[in-house]
Every structure is written in structure tokens, then in C-alpha cells.
Chain A
Amino acid sequence: MRMFLRIVTAVTVIAITLSVYGKASALTPDEVAKKSQAAFLYPGKDFKARVMMKLVSKGGQERVREMTMLRKNYGDIGGEQKYFIYFYQPADVKDMTFMVYKYTGKDADRWLFVPAISMVRRIAAKDKHSSFVGSDFTYEDVSGRNLEEDSRSIVKEEKAGNKDCYVLKSTPKAADMDYSYKMAWIDKSTFLPLKEEYFDKRGELYKVFTAIEIKDVKGFPTITKRSMKNLQSGHMTEVAYAKADYGIGIEDSLFSERFLKQPPKKWIE
């Protein structure tokens, strides 16, 4: 009898341990979000790409924004980053440069250099409500959002294409966003978002993000082609990265007024 009780106890303990362990091995929604942020916005110590942005109106008219984007991380995943962007196209913004110091918990610092009058100016812009160069992407879509600002849950797990995904629902805690919530299909192996759906205040789907092409760049799975489509306006933006690269040794000094005015050839090409 004693022996039997011992066995039962042992089995129970093992079962509980296993179940607890099993639970722990599944990721929480916040962990998924954190891993996705790391894979999507923070890979590498630094990053560079030639970015081709195509803005397509409902009627099919295309406009092109071509730029070189450089990014460098400071501190941990989710921490400070600096961006340096040089514009090639269109003609009226050629040679303009744009610099962003991104922080956590407060709005970014931004500077714009206007070559025609040789002027460096700070730009007052809010990350949440500013379209990036007139595209369907906001600044936040480009450089990320503070994870603290959303509450989230894993709604389900399903395949997107042939990839197993977590379906993560993120709801902004404050009511100051254009969308009421967002559904994201996060690849379980790479943690990149393969698809995102934005729902407006009435709960209707109005904006869709799609990762069109993913390539391995120096061991980092990278979305090299993506689109954002606004279903209400019919406007769409397609973004393609060429010459994407990581760990290229961008110096801290690049992110300065000096180089904003005279962007070094070796970095912008």
C-alpha cells in the first residue's frame, strides 16, 4: 500500500512537473512579440539597404521613392537605434538626407537636410500619425513600436502559406491610434511577420501588410520585399530591398550634422 502511494505521488509529481514544463515551453504573447521585434527590426549590429519604394494609386499611377537606408543599434533589442536615409529619387528630393534617433518611451529626434538651401532642420513629427514619405507605411511601421504600448494575445496557431504561424492580436492601450487592433501572422521559425491585418475603429479590415519575399542575408532571415495596401483608399505601397547587408561597421560619427550635409559615398551607394 505504502509502495503504491509512493508510486502515485511520484507519478503525480512527474505529471505536474511535465505539465508545468510543457506550459513554460510554449511562448507567451509578449515573448512572441519580443522575438518578432528582434527578428524584424533589430537583426545585426547594423544594417544597410538600397530601398525602392513604389507608391501606386487606386487609378494605377506610380510614384517612386528610392533611398539608401542605414541603421545602427545602440543597446539591447527594443532599445535605441539611429537611422540615416539618403534620397535618390524623385528628383525634387534628390540628395536630401534624413536622420532619426529613435528612443524607447519617447518620440524620436529627426533632422532633415535640404540641399537646395544647405539647411539642416529638426522636424516635428509624431511617429504614430506620420506617413513615411507619403507612402502607406507610417514611421512606426518602418522603425517599430514600443511593445509596452500594446496588450496582446495569441488568438490561434495556423499556417500562412506553408509556414506555421502564431496569430498575434495586438491592441493599443491608448485610444490615439488609427487602428483599433492588429492581427499578425508570425512565422514560428523565423519570427518574421508574414502578414498583418489592421482593423479600424468600426472593426473593419482596412490595411494589410504582406511579406512578399524573404531571403537569408548573412544568416538573418530578411523581408526583402513587402507591401502595405490600404483597402479603403485603394492605395498601395511596395517596398523592395536591394543590396541588404548586416554588420558592415557603420561608425557612430555617420549620424551627425557633418555627414547629413555631406553623406559619404561609401555608405550611401
Chain B
Amino acid sequence: MHNHARYIVFFILVLHCIAASAYAADISLHGFLQGNYAAGVAASNPDGGNFKSAEERLQLKLDAAKDPLHLLIKADGWYDHVGKKWDSELREGYIDYTANAWDMRIGRQVITWGVGDLVFINDVFPKDYEAFFSGRPLEYLKKGADSAKIGIYPGFASFEFVLIPYFTPNHFPDSQRFWMFDPFSENGSVITDRNKEKPAASLENTEIALRAYRDIAGFDASLYYYRGFLRQPSIMPDNLMMPTKLTLFYPRLSVYGASLQGKALDGVLSLEAGYYDSRQDRQGTDPMIPNGQTRFLAGYQRQLWEDFTIGVQYYAEYMHDYTAYKRNLPPGFPQEKRLHDLVSIRLTQFLLHQTLRLSWFSSWSPSDSDYLLNPEIKYNFSDHVWAALGGMVFGGGRLWSQFGQLDRNDNVYMQVRYEF
């Protein structure tokens, strides 16, 4: 709520500035009404419910521009039938200032970096995995970061410099709606005393992300740097053998990475890599904090015939200090492999003058033998109304592997949207 208050004050100020100086400001209002429902088909939810999500949502998007300023507010309000409550969220809210050779965006904003398809190496910004696993439109996988972004364009290259003073963690599936592996709830006894500790807003904790990019021989080349926190919490029990209380915290992390994307072999080739420096566990001896990793991906996308595109991708995480990890892993804890990898395929066929889209996305892990399947059919009934029907299927692997643990959460989802 404190967060909301901060925003409201900020926007009143901004609106005031724009209104005062700019009677001729260019203002537009758009948005949509959306119904979104996902029914479990493999099992009831842990809390007994049958829907992963069921909601009606209104989004309003206000744009106001008066050179050199631009304001955007995108806010959602919805009724959640599963939680039986009304809710609202400021999805994005920022102001842009554009000068000749630089620009600035301040406020809640979605930032997407990297070239992966549903895997992220240098995209270190907040995500909502519950949204993705419960069949929401893809845009809900990304969450806004409360930040300031400065772009500098000196000609020989372009630079994006992001400061995030207020930490936003990733959103993971809710334990009432999703079955997931929990190392601290075996033998039926769940530890409910769980305390989340977000990094406090301070100068020292301010996250920094930097991207430099330019064209190199027809390829889009980027270098990345990030210094902040892992957005997935680590769990610190008060006692490793007989825990009674768990503290969830976000370990310090730095990422150094690069990506390339360009035309090759009659298609588009994507390459990306990153070194994850786990700053709170550099020796790899703390079993509760993920070790340092090297992540990389290679993807290739090609149009095979009219309106049909195929994309294949290989992604891997290689754990450093593996010996130290094994040595320090407490007995009874599942042991991760040194290399965790994923092979994914995306097929997209448009039909009926691109108003009907059939798509298939699947991801399979050679190292863990688990998988995710996501077929979807989307039809635009008119220029304003579209609907999508799809499925999320998880399985294989082990009780604790990435998709294996989600085995019982298979769902069929529907999205209907009226846009205006």
C-alpha cells in the first residue's frame, strides 16, 4: 500500500506538470476487457479448488505526450473468482524524457533484454511464472520494475543504464493453487512459519543493469552487466535438521553476459551467454544459496512456408564449484546435476489471413527428462475481439525437477479479450 501511495503522488505531480504546461498534450485512452480461466485437468489444487485462475479484468492505458515528455499509465483491475476478491495493479506507469542523443524513462516499466524464447539469461528483470503456468497472455509473464532507465546514443554504440532502487522478486506459483516440491514439507508436516526478507531500499542495495549494443557485421550484438539480487528466494531454516522457522531471502548476484542475433542459414540465429556470480556463496559451500553458473543458449528460427515458422533452441545452465555443492548438500536433499539443459521447439502457423494462429511450444530437459507442453489456438473474431484456447502440460523427471514437480498442475486455459 505504501508502494501505491508513492506512485499516486508521483503521477499527480507528473500529470500536474503536463496539464500545466501543455493544454495541447496529445492524450489517448485505450485498454481491454478480458476473461481468463484455467481449469486443472490432472488433479484438484492443494486447497481443493479446480481452477488455477478464473477472472475478469479491465485494463486502462493512458498515453499523454507533449514533446519532449511522454507519460504512460497502464493499470489493471480484476475480480478473482478463485481468491474471491477484487484486486488492482499498476502494470506500468512511467514518464519519458527524450533529448537528441539521450533519453530517460522513470517509473514502473517492463524491460526485456536477451534473445531467449521463454528462457532468460541476461533478462534479469522481474517475472511472473504463475501467470505463465496458469495460461495468462504472455505479456503477464513480465512484471514492471520500479526503476530509472537512461539511454545514451553516441553513434558508435547505444547504451541502456538501469537503476532499480526498489526490489521486485519474481512471482512463483501460489502453493494453494499449484502442487510444487518443497524440501521443508516432507512427511506431511509443512513448516508454515515463513518470513520473506526483501532487500531494503537503500543506495547500497540499488540494482544496476547495463546494456551496450550495436551492429557487428549485420548481427545485433549486446553486452550486459547486472549487479543486484537473485529474484528467486533461497530458504534459510533456523535449524537444518529440525527446522521450525524458515526465512526466505534473495541472495546477492552479479551477471556478466553477451548476445548476438542475426540472419544466418536462411533464418534467424540467436546466441546468448551469461556468467552468474553468486556473490553470497562464491565458494559454493552454502547449500541454501545457488552456486555460480554459466548459462548459454543457441536458437534458430526459420520460415518454412507461407505463415509457418519453426524455432528451435538449446539452453543450458552449468553449475560451478560442483564438488563443494555436493560435499555440503544436507542429507535427504535432492541433488541437482552439474548441467541442467532444455531443448525447446516452437511452431507457429497462421491461417485465414493471419486471423487464426495455431502454435505449439514444448520444452524438454535432456538432463532431467521432464517437459512442458503448450499448444494454443487463437482466433481474432474481429479487429476488437480475440479468444485463445490452450493447454499447459507438465511431466516427467523427478518430484523436484523444474517441470516434474508441476506434474499435477496440467491445465486447460481460455483467454477472451475485447480491445478498444
Contact = CB atoms under 8 A, between A and B. Distances in A.
Q: Are A and B a genuine interacting pair, yes or no? A: yes
Contacts of B110: 117-118
A134 B383 contact: no
Nearest to B109: A118
Contact of B355 (A125, A134, A264): A134
Kindly state the interface size class of chain B when it binds its partner. Answer: 35 or more
Interface stretch (A38-46, A78-86, A89-97): A89-97
Contacts of A119: 112
Contacts of B98: 262, 264
Given A117-B142, A122-B262, A134-B354, A91 B384 contact: yes
Given A129-B305, A262-B98, A124 B213 contact: no
Contacts of B87: none
A64 interface: yes
Given A91-B32, A118-B112, A123 B268 contact: yes
Interface in A59-106: 61, 63-64, 89-92, 94
Contacts of B383: 63-64, 89-91
Kindly state the interface size class of chain A when it binds its partner. Answer: 35 or more
B365 interface: no
B18 to A, nearest CB: 14
Contact of B67 (A117, A131, A265): A265
A117 B268 CA distance: 20
B242 interface: no
A201 B307 CA distance: 20
A117 B141 CA distance: 9
Given A92-B386, A118-B109, A257-B213, A124 B301 contact: yes
Given A90-B384, A91-B30, A109-B218, A130 B65 contact: no
Contact of A129 (B32, B303, B350): B303
B382 interface: yes
A222 interface: no
Interface in B186-221: 213, 218, 220
Contacts of B305: 129
Interface in B32-52: 32
Interface of B: 26, 30, 32, 65, 67, 70, 96, 98, 103, 109-112, 137-139, 141-142, 151, 153, 158, 213, 218, 220, 261-263, 266-268, 270, 301-303, 305-307, 309, 350, 353-355, 380, 382-384, 386, 417, 419-420
Interface of A: 55, 57, 61, 63-64, 89-92, 94, 107, 109, 116-119, 122-126, 129-131, 133-135, 235, 253, 256-258, 262, 264-266
22 contacts: A63-B382, A91-B383, A92-B386, A107-B263, A118-B111, A118-B112, A122-B268, A122-B270, A124-B268, A124-B301, A125-B303, A129-B305, A131-B306, A131-B307, A131-B353, A134-B350, A134-B353, A235-B353, A257-B158, A257-B213, A257-B220, A264-B98
